[in-house]
C-alpha cells in the first residue's frame, strides 16, 4: 500500500488534521501567503522601475497589456496544477508515500511539456497577440521585447509553481515559502541591474525586467527540485521510483484539472476582451489600470497563498476521512478571507491617492488610478469569499462548480454590461470598474450558496 519507509521519507510526515483548525490553516497557509505576497510586491517594484524609464506610462502600459496575454497562457498551467493539488495532497493524507512521489514527478513532467509548447507558440505570435488586445505603436514594440524573453522561460515558470504545489501538498509549506522569498529578493535585486545597467550589467530597459524574472524562475526551480531529491522534504524523489510514472495517471491529473483550466481560460479570455476596451481610453488609463490591479492583487496574493495551503489541508482531511473537520476548516477559512479583504479594502480606499503618486507624476493618470482603486475596493470582501471557495474545491478535486461560476461571472455578468456601457452608452472607463465590482459581488454570493449545499464533502479522487 505504499506505506512510509526509510527509502521514501527522511522523517515522520507532519499531520495538520488534528488540533486547532485555524492554527492548521495558518501553518499550512501563512508560508504560501508570504511567498505569494512577496511575488506581488516584486511586481509592484518592477512597475516602479519601469515607470522611471523614459517611456514612463508607455512602458507600464506595454507590460500591463502583455500581462493579460500571460494570464491566458498561464490558464494552461491550471490544466495540470489543479489536479496535482488534489492528487498529491490526497495521497499524502492517505499515507501512500510512494504514490505521492510518483504524482509529483508526473506533475513536473507534464508542466515542462506544456510550458515548452506554449512558450514556442508565444514566441512566434507575440506581436500579433499584442495588437489583438489593444496595443499600438511603441506599446507593441516594448511589449514584444518583454514578452519574447518571458515566453522563452515559460517551461521553467510552469515547473517552478509545481515545485511549490508539491511542497505544500506534502506539508512542507515553509520550504516553498523560503524558495519563493529567495526568488523574489533575487528578482528585485536583478531588476535595476538589468533595466538600467547598474554595476556593469547591460542596460536592457523593459527587456531587463523580463530577464530578471526568467533568471529567478530558473534558479528557484533548480533549487526546489534539488531539495525534493535531497531527502529534506517529507517525501523524497528518486531517479527510479517504486511506482513508475504512468500515462493513465497523468491523464487523470489533467482530467481533474480540465474544469479549473476552463475556468482560468474563461477569466483570462475575458481579460483579453476587456483590455482593448480599456486601451481605447489611452495609455494613461491602461497604466493606471496596471498599477491598480497589482495593488488590488496584494490582498488577492494574501488569500491565494492561504488558500493554496487550505487546498492541501482540505485534501489531507478528506484523505484521512475527516469530513466534519474538512467542513469546519472550509467555513473558518471563508470568514478569515472576508475579514482580511475587508481590511485591505479600507486601506486601499483611504490610501488610493498616495499609492498612485508613488508611481506617477501626471495628475490625469493619478486621478484615473484613484477612482479605479476606490471602486474596486468595494468588492474586496467578495473577492476574498470567491478565492477561498475556489481553493476549497481545488483541494477536493472538484473544479466544475468554480468553472461554472467563473464562466457566468465573465461572460454573463461582466463582458455584456461593459460592452453596453462603453460601446453603446459611451460611458467612460469608470463604467468598466463598476461592472467588474458588481459582477464579483453577485458571482461570489452565488458560489457561496452552492457551497452551503455540502456535496463537496463526498467527492472521491
In a domain, 92, yes or no: yes
For residue 455, the 8-state DSSP code is G
CA angle 263, 302, 38 (to 5 degrees): 110
How many domains are contained in the chain? 1
In sign, the C-alpha dihedral spanning 15, 18, 19, 24 is positive
Asked whether the predicted pLDDT for residue 207 surpasses 90, the reply is yes
In a domain, 7, yes or no: no
Q: Counting Cβ atoms within 10 Å, is residue 350 exposed (0-12), middle (13-18) or buried (19+)? A: exposed
In a domain, 348, yes or no: yes
Range 172-177 average pLDDT: 86
Rounded to whole angstroms, the Cα distance separating 174 from 97 reads: 20
In which band, very low, low, confident or very high, does the pLDDT at 116 lie, cut at 50, 70 and 90? Answer: very high
In a domain, 16, yes or no: no
Q: Which of 35-39, 111-115, 401-405, 423-427 has the lowest mean pLDDT?
A: 35-39
Rounded to whole angstroms, the Cα distance separating 161 from 221 reads: 8
Range 142-158 average pLDDT: 95
Rounded to whole angstroms, the Cα distance separating 194 from 27 reads: 36
In a domain, 186, yes or no: yes
Greater model confidence, 326 or 213:
213
Domain with 335 in it = 21-458
pTM above 0.85, yes or no: no
Range 125-151 average pLDDT: 93
Rounded to whole angstroms, the Cα distance separating 5 from 110 reads: 27
Q: Which residues contact 354 (CB under 8 A, 6 or more apart)?
A: none
Looking at residue 435, its pLDDT comes to: 96
Asked whether the predicted pLDDT for residue 239 surpasses 80, the reply is yes
Asked whether the predicted pLDDT for residue 337 surpasses 50, the reply is yes
Cβ burial 230-257 (10 Å sphere, 16+ → b, else e): ebebbbbbeeebeeeeeeebbebbbebb
In a domain, 69, yes or no: yes
Pick from 176-185, 251-260, 437-446 the range whose average pLDDT is largest: 437-446
Closest Cα partner for 41 from 354, 301, 337, 341? 301
CB 83 within 8 A of CB 235: no
Looking at residue 455, its pLDDT comes to: 77
Asked whether the predicted pLDDT for residue 255 surpasses 80, the reply is yes
In a domain, 9, yes or no: no
Asked whether the predicted pLDDT for residue 1 surpasses 70, the reply is no
Per-residue pLDDT tens over the stretch 393-428: 877 777 788 889 989 999 999 999 999 999 999 999
Asked whether the predicted pLDDT for residue 3 surpasses 50, the reply is no
In a domain, 2, yes or no: no
Q: Can you spell out the DSSP letters for 305-373?
A: HHHHHHHHHHHHHHHTT-HHHHHHHHHHHHHHHHHHHHHHHHHHHHHHHHHHHHH---HHHHHHHHHHH
Asked whether the predicted pLDDT for residue 221 surpasses 90, the reply is yes
Amino acid at each position: 500500500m505504499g506505506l512510509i519507509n526509510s527509502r521514501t521519507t527522511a522523517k515522520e510526515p507532519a499531520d495538520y488534521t488534528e488540533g486547532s483548525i485555524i492554527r492548521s490553516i495558518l501553518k499550512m497557509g501563512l508560508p504560501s501567503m508570504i511567498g505569494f505576497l512577496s511575488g506581488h510586491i516584486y511586481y509592484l517594484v518592477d512597475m516602479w522601475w519601469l515607470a522611471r524609464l523614459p517611456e514612463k506610462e508607455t512602458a507600464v502600459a506595454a507590460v500591463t497589456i502583455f500581462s493579460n496575454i500571460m494570464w491566458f497562457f498561464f490558464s494552461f498551467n491550471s490544466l495540470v496544477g489543479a489536479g496535482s493539488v488534489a492528487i498529491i495532497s490526497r495521497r499524502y493524507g492517505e499515507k501512500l508515500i510512494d504514490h505521492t512521489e510518483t504524482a509529483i514527478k508526473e506533475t513536473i513532467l507534464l508542466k515542462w511539456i506544456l510550458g515548452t509548447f506554449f512558450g514556442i507558440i508565444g514566441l512566434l505570435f507575440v506581436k500579433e497577440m499584442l495588437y489583438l488586445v489593444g496595443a499600438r505603436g511603441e506599446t507593441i514594440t516594448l511589449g514584444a521585447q518583454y514578452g519574447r524573453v518571458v515566453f522563452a522561460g515559460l517551461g521553467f515558470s510552469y515547473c517552478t509553481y509545481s515545485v511549490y504545489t508539491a511542497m505544500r501538498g506534502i506539508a512542507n509549506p515553509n520550504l516553498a515559502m523560503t524558495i519563493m522569498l529567495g526568488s523574489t529578493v533575487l528578482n528585485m535585486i536583478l531588476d535595476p541591474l538589468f533595466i538600467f545597467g547598474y554595476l556593469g550589467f547591460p542596460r536592457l530597459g523593459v527587456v531587463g525586467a523580463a530577464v530578471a524574472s526568467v533568471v529567478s524562475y530558473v534558479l528557484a526551480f533548480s533549487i526546489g527540485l534539488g531539495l525534493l531529491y535531497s531527502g529534506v522534504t517529507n517525501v523524497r524523489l528518486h531517479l527510479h521510483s517504486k511506482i513508475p510514472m504512468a500515462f493513465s495517471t497523468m491523464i487523470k491529473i489533467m482530467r481533474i484539472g480540465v474544469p479549473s483550466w476552463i475556468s482560468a481560460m474563461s477569466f483570462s479570455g475575458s481579460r483579453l476582451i476587456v483590455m482593448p476596451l480599456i486601451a481605447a481610453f489611452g495609455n494613461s488609463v491602461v497604466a493606471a489600470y496596471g498599477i491598480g490591479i497589482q495593488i488590488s492583487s496584494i490582498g488577492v496574493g494574501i488569500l491565494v497563498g492561504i488558500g493554496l495551503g487550505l487546498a492541501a489541508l482540505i485534501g489531507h482531511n478528506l484523505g484521512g476521512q475527516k469530513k466534519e473537520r474538512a467542513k469546519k476548516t472550509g467555513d473558518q477559512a471563508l470568514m478569515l478571507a472576508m475579514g482580511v479583504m475587508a481590511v485591505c479594502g479600507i486601506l486601499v480606499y483611504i490610501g488610493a491617492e498616495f499609492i498612485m503618486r508613488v508611481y506617477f507624476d501626471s495628475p490625469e493618470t493619478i486621478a484615473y488610478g484613484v477612482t479605479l482603486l476606490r471602486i474596486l475596493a468595494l468588492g474586496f470582501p467578495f473577492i476574498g469569499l470567491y478565492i477561498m471557495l475556489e481553493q476549497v474545491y481545488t483541494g477536493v478535486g472538484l473544479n466544475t462548480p468554480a468553472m461554472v461560476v467563473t464562466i457566468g461571472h465573465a461572460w454573463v455578468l461582466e463582458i455584456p454590461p461593459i460592452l453596453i456601457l462603453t460601446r453603446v452608452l459611451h460611458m467612460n472607463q469608470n463604467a468598466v470598474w463598476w461592472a467588474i465590482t458588481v459582477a464579483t459581488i453577485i458571482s461570489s454570493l452565488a458560489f457561496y450558496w452552492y457551497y452551503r449545499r455540502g456535496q463537496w464533502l463526498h467527492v472521491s479522487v
